């Protein structure tokens, strides 16, 4: 939809966007090699100067303060890209560490200044293990996925000094996070409220956490919810090692299995093993439109298998973090999976990410996380 480009514009530059009548549309970050040629940051002709960045970052922080997330956790998303009108930038807080995840060349070129402004607005990090005192300064990590770097044309330099693992707290549960090396930014803050709610429904339950990553749901069920027994399953060996560390950190016993979810589920079916509560939270299955149909088939197969492992009357929570999979498509896929497995479901709720992952109505694609809550009805009931 770009008709013409000023030849002076360079990749990463701030550019003015004009309509066909040469009327200003706004200003944004330009990259001709990207799938998103201009990431529009403001719908006016005002400059993208320090005052702009300070105002946008300040508005993002004010939302998190209003939500009072810090009362339950010292881990949260401080900047949610389009949701905070800062397309191409995600910032997570883990205790005294800030992780900047970049999705555009323009943000990569400006991340140093953005970090300076953000830390100035935040003030020093509170040292939660030493009430009344403060850590000296924020530690920073800058990350980007390799496919994004190739597509956008930048490369985040290897860190000269790694921050190492950091311990965060969420609803009374402690988690060890690896901001340098973990998947994405090291942890999934988007499931914070879903983890707490799932835990409250697991009193004295036998729980299976399929695709458990570093153990979030299962650990919450054990520590907060008082689950009788918890099993976590994942194919990522490094993530499982962190999950075991997290169980030890909270002084609870959880059984972890290094296995493919399909293989483990079929083995449990053969063993006639059933669970009172099951959460299925696989990684992103559709990263591009070409992968949408294969992803829906995999969601169908995973859910059909998982449903057969839930006791009649049990709780089933199934999630999708694939933004390309719509809510309606995911719900229809789970419904088809239930029919295939011979189970009937009562839907008790549908949720998404926490409030620190706001959705701008003009960019509904940022509502990527879908969490569907069901009671599995007895057969023939």
Task: Catalogue the active-site residues.
Answer: 321
Q: Specify the length of the chain in residues.
A: 381
Strand residues in 118-274 grouped as ranges (E) = 139-143, 166-170, 173-177, 206-210, 229-234, 255-258
Angular region, 252: left φ>0, alpha ψ -120 to 50, beta rest: beta
| Residue among 301, 303, 279, 145 at smallest CA distance from 215 | 279
| Residue among 136, 150, 135, 279 at smallest CA distance from 213 | 279
Residue 379 main-chain phi, psi, to 5 deg: -65, 135
Q: Contact 47/57 with Cβ under 8 angstroms?
A: no
| CA distances for 59 relative to 32, 53, 261, 296, 337, angstroms | 29, 10, 41, 37, 42
Whole-number Å distance between alpha carbons of 231 and 210: 8
Count CB atoms within 10 A of the CB of residue 85.
19
Whole-number Å distance between alpha carbons of 75 and 222: 20
Token output for 46: 């005002």
């Amino acid at each position: 939809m770009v008709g013409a480009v000023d030849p002076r514009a360079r990749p990463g530059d701030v550019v003015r966007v004009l309509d066909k009548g040469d009327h200003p549309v706004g200003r944004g970050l330009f990259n001709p090699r990207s799938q998103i040629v201009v990431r529009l940051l403001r719908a006016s002709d005002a400059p993208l100067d320090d005052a702009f960045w300070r105002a946008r970052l300040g508005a993002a922080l004010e939302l998190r303060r209003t939500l009072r997330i810090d009362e339950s956790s010292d881990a949260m998303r401080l900047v949610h890209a389009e949701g905070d009108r800062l397309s191409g930038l995600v910032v997570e807080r883990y205790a005294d560490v800030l992780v900047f995840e970049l999705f555009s060349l323009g943000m990569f070129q400006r991340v140093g200044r953005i970090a300076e402004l953000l830390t100035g607005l935040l003030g020093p990090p509170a040292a939660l293990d030493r009430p009344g005192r403060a850590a000296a300064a924020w530690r920073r990590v800058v990350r980007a996925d390799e496919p994004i770097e190739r597509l956008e044309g930048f490369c985040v330099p290897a860190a000269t000094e790694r921050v190492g693992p950091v311990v965060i707290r969420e609803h009374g549960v402690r988690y060890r996070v690896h901001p340098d090396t973990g998947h994405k930014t090291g942890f999934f803050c988007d499931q914070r409220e879903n983890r707490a709610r799932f835990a409250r429904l697991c009193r004295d339950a036998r729980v299976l956490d399929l695709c458990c990553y570093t153990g979030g749901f299962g650990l919450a069920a054990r520590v907060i919810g008082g689950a009788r027994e918890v099993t976590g399953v994942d194919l990522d060996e490094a993530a499982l090692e962190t999950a075991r560390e997290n169980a030890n950190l909270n002084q609870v016993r959880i059984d972890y299995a290094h296995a493919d979810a399909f293989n483990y589920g079929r083995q449990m079916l053969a063993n006639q093993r059933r669970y009172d509560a099951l959460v299925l939270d696989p990684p992103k299955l559709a990263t591009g439109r070409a992968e949408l149909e294969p992803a829906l088939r995999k969601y169908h197969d995973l859910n059909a298998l998982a449903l057969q492992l839930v006791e009649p009357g049990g709780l089933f929570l199934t999630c999708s973090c694939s933004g390309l999979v719509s809510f309606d498509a995911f719900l229809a896929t789970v419904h088809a999976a239930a029919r295939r497995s011979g189970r009937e479901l009562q839907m008790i709720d549908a949720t998404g990410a926490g409030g620190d992952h706001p959705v701008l109505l003009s960019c509904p694609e940022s509502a990527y996380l879908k969490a569907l809550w069901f009671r599995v009805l007895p057969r023939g009931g």
